[in-house]
Amino acid sequence: MTEQISVLEKKIEEVTKRISDLKDIDSIRNLHHTYGYYFDACLFNEVVDLYAEDSEVRFMGGIFKGKESVRRFFCDRLRMRHSNGHNGPIYGFLLDHIMMQDVITISEDGKTARGRYRTFMQAGRHELAEGLTRQWWEGGVYENTYVNEDGLWKFKILDYRGLWHADFNTGWAHTPPNLYPFFSDTYPNDPIGPDEILDIVPKPVLWPDTGVLPFHYPHPVTGDEWDQNKDLNTSK
């Protein structure tokens, strides 16, 4: 009887952990998709409120460290470029970035989590709107870290790797190499730049160069970690 009770207690513990993980996965998925809706509406104040105090953003080879730097990235950089400094949607600006294929992993202690998403963007500015008229496609991958603070999941690290950009009319087959520069200078020399330059090998690249943002999870069948330095033939 004692052995049976021990087995049942272990099963209850496993089921309880599984239910807790599923609830956390659902909360994190909602958090990330909520971020997406705010972002597409240019509600950057609301986006920043989703971040922990010691959070960071990794974008185009730069690292914005701490919530105030996160605010600089979204409000001083993106809000000025996308919505002319206005917090919210403006006439004639389209920013739809669809997020999907999420793989979310909860840590053993339930305090942090990792999430990977693919995004596909269609964006542009109408010819009747204020600013440069343009329209473009974009695709990329998120590899994020989340933290549970007092029962609320928040962004700890948002790591977005833009993989390709394309002019709407000519498409990705005609994208010029090095279309957009990666960060090369830091704040305050660059008033809207990152605090650090990302120092990793291989370095991030843009189409037609190709690369892989490393997976936070092992192979689900073999259990192997993917080796980013193996079998890559990414650029000329």
pLDDT exceeds 90 at position 94: yes
Distance CA 100, CA 231 (A): 26
Of 84, 77, 94, which is closest to residue 41 (Cα–Cα)?
94
CA distance 102 to 201: 25
Q: What is the pLDDT of residue 1?
A: 76
The CATH number of domain 2-197 is 3.10.450.50: yes
Compute the average pLDDT of residues 84-112.
Answer: 96
φ/ψ region of 166 (left if φ > 0, alpha if ψ in -120 to 50, else beta) reads: beta
> Quick one: average pLDDT of 172-183?
94
DSSP 221: T
Q: What phi and psi values does residue 211 have, to the nearest 5 degrees?
A: -155, 175
Q: How far is 27 from 112, CA to CA, in rounded Å? A: 12
With a pLDDT cut of 70, the percent of the chain lying above it is: 97
Q: Which of 55, 51, 24 is CA-nearest to residue 39?
A: 51
* Contacts (Cβ under 8 Å, ≥6 apart) of 222: none
pLDDT tens digits along 117-168:
999 999 999 999 999 999 999 999 999 999 999 999 999 999 999 999 999 9
Reported as a single tens digit per residue, the pLDDT across 183-226 is 999 999 999 999 999 998 888 999 999 989 999 999 999 999 98
Whether the pTM exceeds 0.75: the reply is: yes
Q: What mean pLDDT comes out for the span 69-97?
A: 96
| Closest among 137, 131, 208 to 175, alpha carbons compared | 208
* Other CB atoms within 10 Å distance of the CB of residue 78: 18
Indicate the average pLDDT of the chain: 94
Place of tokens 């999870």: 217
- Domain positions in the chain are 2-197
Model pLDDT, residue 189: 97
Q: Sign of the CA dihedral 221, 226, 227, 228?
A: positive
Amino acid at 157: I
